[in-house]
């Protein structure tokens, strides 16, 4: 039973398997707030890169974390007042974010912010540890997965629309590396919560995925269809 009076929907899963697309569409459809927890780890990574923080220096990490103020909106991320929504999607950030998100002090700060948001409104939050650590009592937990080649191709198509030029091989390697690091770290590794429902979307379109989750919410009487 969720101790707070708001509905928390947790969407976890591997990198680039469509979590944010599905979570965003779901939140819009049912009138909840969408929170992209991965973007928060990306903001911290950007700050650490900008300040040349040595990831082995715990004092420097704590100091940097104290300097960070995050303002999280559905589609906009302010890092100490600056809009970094586009900057956090670069390949440089993708390459370092798994290392930064494995640091305990970083996770403690991000989880506290995420829980504070979920305690004040109905949210759909996506990430890696939402159902296991952030909202262990979430009313619905989805664990998303898809074929790795399909995930790499989807991410490739998405990046093609931006200025950054990255090959399909580089993307596949980055996804592979992040999945490995996210599932093998000691702090809140990515794993399926026992009470999570698996959604493999390899062969599903966005509407089918949305309907799958809405049917679950309706069967738990969390929404009326
Ligand atoms: O969802 P994303 O790919 O933008 O997330 C970026 C990284 O952040 C991902 O490789 C792992 C980390 N992350 C995490 O450790 N915990 C979360 N709840 C969300 C993301």
Give distance in angstroms: CA of 128 to centre of ligand 1: 6
Q: What is the CATH number of the domain that holds 174?
A: 3.40.50.300
Task: Please state, for a pLDDT cut of 90, what percent of the chain lies above it.
Answer: 88
Give distance in angstroms: CA of 211 to centre of ligand 1: 25
Number of domains in the chain: 1
Cα–Cα distance, 23 to 35 (Å, whole number): 8
Q: Please report the pLDDT score of residue 58 as a whole number.
A: 97
* C-alpha neighbours within 13 Å on the C-beta side of residue 170: 10
Ligand 1, residue 39: give the atom nearest the CA: 4
Structural domain includes residue 224: no
Pocket of ligand 1 (CB under 6 A): 15, 37-39, 41-42, 97-98, 101, 127-130, 178, 182
Cα–Cα distance, 24 to 3 (Å, whole number): 24
Q: What is the pLDDT of residues 68-83, one digit of tens each?
A: 999 999 889 999 999 9
Structural domain includes residue 102: yes
Q: What is the pLDDT of residues 139-197, one digit of tens each?
A: 999 999 999 999 999 989 888 887 778 899 999 999 999 999 999 999 999 999 999 99
Predicted structure pTM score: 0.94
Q: What is the pLDDT of residues 8-41, one digit of tens each?
A: 999 999 999 999 999 999 999 999 999 999 999 9
Ligand 1, residue 42: give the atom nearest the CA: 6
Structural domain includes residue 170: yes
């Amino acid at each position: 039973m969720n101790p707070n009076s708001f509905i928390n929907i947790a969407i976890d899963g591997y990198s680039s398997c469509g979590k944010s697309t599905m979570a965003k569409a779901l939140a819009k459809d049912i009138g909840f707030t969408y929170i992209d927890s991965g973007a928060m780890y990306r903001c911290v990574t950007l700050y650490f890169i900008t300040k040349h923080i040595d990831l082995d220096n715990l004092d420097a990490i704590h100091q940097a974390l104290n300097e960070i103020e995050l303002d999280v909106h559905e589609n906009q991320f302010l890092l100490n007042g600056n809009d970094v929504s586009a900057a956090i999607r670069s390949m440089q950030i993708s390459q370092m974010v798994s290392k930064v998100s494995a640091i305990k002090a970083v996770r403690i700060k991000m989880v506290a912010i995420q829980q504070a948001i979920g305690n004040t409104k109905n949210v759909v939050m996506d990430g890696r540890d939402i159902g296991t650590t952030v909202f262990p009592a979430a009313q619905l937990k989805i664990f998303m997965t898809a074929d790795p080649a399909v995930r790499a191709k989807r991410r490739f198509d998405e990046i093609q629309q931006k200025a950054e030029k990255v090959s399909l091989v580089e993307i596949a390697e980055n996804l592979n590396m992040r999945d490995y690091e996210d599932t093998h770290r000691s702090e809140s590794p990515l794993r399926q919560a026992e009470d999570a429902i698996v959604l493999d979307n390899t062969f599903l379109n966005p509407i089918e995925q949305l309907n799958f989750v809405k049917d679950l919410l309706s069967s738990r009487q969390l929404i009326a269809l």
